[in-house]
C-alpha cells in the first residue's frame, strides 16, 4: 500500500496543474471568443490583431 503514498499526491498534483492552467486561461480571456478562435486558425500569416507590418 506504500505505493499510495506516491500515487495520490502525484494524481492530485497533475490534476491541480490542469486546474491552474484552466483558471489561468480563463483569467487571460481565452474563453471570451470561442467562435473567433475556431475561425482564426484559418488565417495565415502573422497575428492580425496587433499592428502588422504594412504589406
Partner 1 sequence: MSCCAPGSEDLALGLQAPPSDEEVAFAARDMGDGTRQVELSVPNVHCAACIHTVESALARLDTVERARVNLSSKRVSVRWRGDALPPIVSTLSSLGYPPHLFDDAQDGKDPVLSELLRAVAVSGFAAGNIMLLSVSVWSGAEGATRDLFHWVSALLALPALAVAGIIYYRSAWNALRHGRMNMDVPIAIGITMAYALSIYDTWHSGAHAYFDASVTLLFFLLIGRTLDHVMRNKARAAVANLARMAPRGALVLFDDGTRDYRPIGEVQPGTKLLVGAGERIPVDARVVHGASDIDCSLVNGESAPQPVAAGAEVHAGALNLTGPLTLEAVRAASSSFLAEMIRLMEATEGGRARYRRIADRVSAMYAPVVHLTALVAFIGWMLTGADWHQAITIAIAVLIITCPCALGLAVPMVQVVAARRLFENGIMVKDGSALERLAEADSAIFDKTGTLTLGQPRLTNMHEIPPRLLDVAQALASHSRHPLSQAIAQQARRSTSATFDDVSELPGFGMEARTGGIVWRLGRASWAASASEENGTVLTRNGDIVARFTFADEIRPGARSTIDTLKKRLRRVEMLSGDAEPACRQVAEELGFDHWRSNLLPADKVSRIEELSGNGHKVMMVGDGLNDAPALGAAHVSLAPASAADIGRNAADFVFLHGNLSAVTTAMDVALRAGQLIRQNLGIAIIYNLIAVPIAILGYVTPLVAAIAMSGSSILVISNALRLMRMGITEKRVAPKATKPATEPLRA
Judged by the rule CB under 8 A, the positions of this chain that interact with partner 1 are 1, 4, 8, 11-12, 15-16, 18-19, 22-23, 26-27, 29, 31-36, 39-43, 48-52, 54
Q: What is the dihedral of CA 48, 49, 52, 55, to 10 degrees?
A: 40
CB of 14 to partner 1, least distance (A): 10
CB of 41 to partner 1, least distance (A): 8
Sign of CA dihedral 38, 44, 46, 49: negative
| Cell numbers at 21, concatenated | 492552467
CB of 48 to partner 1, least distance (A): 4
Amino acid at each position: 500500500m506504500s505505493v499510495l503514498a506516491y500515487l495520490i499526491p502525484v494524481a492530485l498534483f497533475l490534476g491541480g496543474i490542469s486546474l491552474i492552467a484552466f483558471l489561468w486561461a480563463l483569467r487571460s480571456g481565452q474563453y471570451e471568443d470561442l467562435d473567433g478562435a475556431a475561425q482564426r486558425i484559418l488565417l495565415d500569416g502573422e497575428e492580425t490583431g496587433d499592428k502588422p507590418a504594412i504589406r
